[in-house]
Each structure stands twice: as C-alpha cells, then as structure tokens.
C-alpha cells in the first residue's frame, strides 16, 4: 500500500497541492532541452569567431542532422514499443543503391518505389519474425544489419551507383524548397507527422501501452503483435527513405551510406528522453537529441579537434546527458 490518498481538500490544501506540483515538476524530462541550450550558448561564445553562429553554419548543422533525425523519428516508435532496430543503417545503404540502380534503368518513379519497397520488405521480415515468432528484435535486426549491408555490397560489386536524374536529386536532398534546403524540409515533415501520430492518435497510444506493459495492453484488447510488426515495418520504410535522401544529397547510391547510423539514431532517441525499456517516447525530444549530437559534431570540428578526439568527447557528453536525465 502506498501513501497517496489525500486528506479532504480545503482551500489551503489546494494551494499546497499547487506548490507540490511545482516541486515535483520533473526537470529531468527537460534535460535534453536544457543541455541543448547550454551547449549551444557555450559554442556560441567559444566559437563565435570561427563562424559558429553564421546562418550557413547553422543550416549546415540541420542539413547534416537531417537523415539521422528521420531515422530516429521511426526509432522512437520502435524503442517506445520496447523493441530495437539495429538494421536501419544498412537498410538505408541498401535502399540507396537499389534506388540508384532502378533510377538508372527505369526512371525516377520506379526508383522511388523500389527504394521504399526495400524498406517495406526488410521491415516486414523484421516485424514478422519479432511479432509472429517472438524472436527478440535485437537478434533479428542484428542479423538483418549484416544481410542488408552484404546485399548492398554484393549487388553493386562495391561500386558507387551514380544518379544522373536531376529531378531525383532535386527532390531528395540536393535542392531547396523555397528558402530551405530540401533535406531540412523532409526532416521537418517527418518530425511533425511523427510527433502528432505518437501523441495524438490511437496508434501512438497503443504503441506506448504495448511498450509500457505488453500483457496489460493485450488484456485491454490491443493487438500487440500487430503493433510490434507495424513499428518495425515503419522503421524499415523510414530508414529506406533516409537512404534515398543520402542518395539524393550525394547524387549516388553506395553501400556505405548510413553505416553506423543505427547507433546515432538510438543515441538521439535515448537523449530525447524515450525510455530504453519502452512505454514512453517523445519525437520532439528525439529531434533535439539528434540536433544536440549534430551540434557537438559541428562545434568540435570548428574547434579544430580531429575525428578521434571528437568521438571521445561526443561519447562522454552522451553518457553525461543520459545520466542526468535518468530517473531517481
């Protein structure tokens, strides 16, 4: 028995209640936003002379973060559902080469469809194995990471697949939409849709309930197998889309695109406050998690650190942020 029953409320008690509410306001939930602002200001002061605050540099950060953010939005659903998807990086790579090859042979429309199809197939296999056979997603997607990566290398003989379609490259990452880089617009679309669906739709609530307590969700009439299948399917398709953005931005498909992105995406999701054990998730948090990683990368480059030093500092900051955000 826990002590939560309240004495009958009087006027005074209401005031006390309000003060309690403020005291119990869980600042840990906002660590990512606080951290983002603190590090931003830190770099702004320290690296102001190196052009950190120039609009170009800031847009650059957004552009470099965009694909990771797109992947991480879907990863938020997977992790909130108490699963994991390690195959996203290599799915992005596979989708980039399949799209590039299909565009070269059959044109842009077929190329786009083929790319998305790669994600749908991989996502269905992941989701099907996890939902129907109950194999842990960690194992299924770890295997799929190797399969997709190997496949992308195999069908291209490790050669880059150039994309010469101006229209494709314009739409998927190289061009601008109005004043904004296309990549950033795509990122904004994914974040907006992802945030609304998770917080404001039946599907979103069912994902959170399934991740929070699968048995209770099942007893409540939620088809938890279908939910698990769907989040992994979404993750696969979205990862493929991210691969297509890589292809558009770099005007070619290559099996290396997206390599290692699964770890950045997971880090962004966890930094954003989504519980690694499922049941809670915030897409906006994920966006800031990804931006924070991008910010750190950018700042460290401007500060003149080399790649190895960047990795060390980035790792330390991620651990620190997650430690601060953990529950009591």
Partner 1 sequence: MTQVTDAVAPVAETDVPAVEMRDISKAFDSNVVLTGVDFEVTQGEVHALAGGNGAGKSTLMKILQGVYTKDSGVIRINGQEVNFTSIQDAKAAGIGMVFQEFSLVPTLTVAQNIYLTTEPLTGKVLIQVREAREKAREVFRQMEVEVDPGARIADLGTAYWQLTEIAKAMAQDARVLIMDEPSASLAKHEADQLFELVGRLKAQGISIIYISHRMEEVYRIADRITILRDGKNLLTERLTDITPDQIVEGIVGQQIEGMAYQERDTSAEPEVLLEADGLTAGARVQNVSFTLHRGEIIGLAGLMGSGRTELARCLFGIDKLESGEIRIHGQRVDVSDPRQAIKARLALIPEDRRAQGLVLEHSVRDNLLLPLLKKIERGLLIDDGKGKELAASLIKRFAVKVANPARPVRLLSGGNQQKVVIAKWLGTDPEVLIMDEPTAGVDIGTKTEILTMIRDLAHEGKAVIVISSEYAELLAVSDRVLILRDGAVQQELARKDITDEESLQHAVQGV
| 328 binds partner 1 per the rule CB under 8 A | no
Site string for partner 1, 201-230 (x = CB under 8 A): xx--xx-xx--xx-xxxxxxxxx-------
Q: Which is nearer to partner 1, 28 or 60 (CB)?
A: 28
Which one of the spans 13-21, 72-80, 91-99, 176-184 is the region binding partner 1 (CB under 8 A)? 13-21
Count of chain residues binding partner 1 (CB under 8 A): 35
220 or 309: CB nearest partner 1: 220
Give 326: exposed, middle or buried? Use CB within 10 Å, 0-12, 13-18, 19+.
Answer: exposed
List the interface residues with partner 1, window 143-202 (CB under 8 A).
Answer: 196, 200-202
Q: How far is the CB of 35 from partner 1 (least distance, A)?
A: 23
What x/- string results for residues 272 through 291 when contact with partner 1 is judged by CB under 8 A?
A: ---x---xx-----------
Nearer to partner 1, 7 or 134 (CB): 7
Closer to partner 1 by Cβ: residue 82 or 290: 82
Tell which positions 14-73 bind partner 1, by CB under 8 A. 16-17, 19-21, 23
Q: How far is the CB of 254 from partner 1 (least distance, A)?
A: 38
Would you say 193 or 312 has its CB closer to partner 1?
Answer: 193
Q: Residue 22 CB, nearest distance to partner 1 (Å)?
A: 11
Which tokens sit at 62?
A: 């957004």
Alpha-carbon span 46 to 44, nearest angstrom: 6
Q: Angle at Cα 46 formed by Cα 43 and Cα 47, nearest 5°?
A: 75
Q: Which is nearer to partner 1, 78 or 112 (CB)?
A: 78
Between residues 8 and 179, which has the closer beta carbon with respect to partner 1? 8
Which residues neighbour 210 within 8 Å (Cβ) at sequence distance 6 or greater? 81, 82, 217, 222, 224, 227, 228, 278
Q: Exposed, middle or buried, 162 (CB in 10 Å: 0-12/13-18/19+)?
A: middle
Ranges within 223-262 binding partner 1 (CB under 8 A): 223
Nearest to partner 1 of 93, 272 (CB atom)? 272
User: Do you know the residue count of the chain?
Assistant: 328
CB of 216 to partner 1, least distance (A): 5
Restricting to residues 63-122, name those near partner 1 by CB under 8 A.
none
Rounded to the nearest whole angstrom, what is the least distance from the CB of residue 74 to partner 1 in the complex?
19
The residues of the shown chain that bind partner 1, judged by CB under 8 A, are 1-7, 16-17, 19-21, 23, 196, 200-202, 205-206, 208-209, 212-213, 215-223, 275, 279-280
């Amino acid at each position: 028995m826990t002590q939560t029953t309240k004495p009958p409320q009087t006027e005074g008690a209401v005031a006390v209640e309000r003060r309690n509410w403020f005291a119990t306001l869980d600042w840990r939930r906002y660590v990512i936003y606080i951290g983002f602002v603190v590090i931003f200001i830190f770099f702004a002061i320290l690296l102001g002379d190196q052009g950190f605050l120039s609009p170009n540099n800031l847009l650059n950060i957004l552009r470099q973060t965009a694909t990771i953010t797109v992947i991480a939005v879907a990863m938020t659903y997977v992790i909130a559902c108490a699963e994991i998807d390690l195959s996203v990086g290599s799915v992005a790579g596979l989708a980039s080469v399949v799209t590039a090859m299909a565009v070269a042979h059959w044109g842009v429309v077929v190329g786009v469809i083929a790319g998305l199809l790669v994600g749908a197939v991989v996502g269905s296999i992941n989701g099907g194995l996890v939902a129907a056979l109950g194999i842990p997603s960690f194992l299924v997607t770890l295997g799929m990471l190797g399969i997709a990566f190997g496949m992308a290398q195999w069908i291209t003989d490790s050669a880059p697949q150039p994309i010469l379609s101006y229209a494709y490259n314009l739409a998927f990452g190289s061009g601008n939409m109005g004043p904004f880089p296309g990549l950033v617009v795509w990122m904004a679309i994914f974040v907006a849709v992802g945030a609304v669906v998770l917080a404001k739709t039946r599907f979103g609530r069912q994902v959170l309930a399934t991740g929070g307590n699968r048995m209770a969700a099942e007893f409540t009439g939620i088809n938890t197998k279908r939910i698990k299948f769907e989040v992994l399917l979404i993750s696969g398709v979205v990862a493929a889309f991210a691969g297509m953005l890589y292809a558009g931005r770099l005007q070619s498909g290559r099996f290396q695109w997206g390599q290692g992105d699964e770890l950045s995406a997971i880090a962004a999701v966890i930094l954003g406050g989504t519980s690694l054990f499922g049941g809670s998730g915030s897409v906006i948090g994920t966006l800031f998690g990804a931006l924070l990683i991008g910010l750190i990368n950018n700042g460290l480059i401007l500060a003149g650190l080399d790649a190895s030093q960047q990795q060390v500092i980035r790792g330390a900051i991620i651990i620190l942020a997650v430690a601060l955000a953990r529950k009591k």
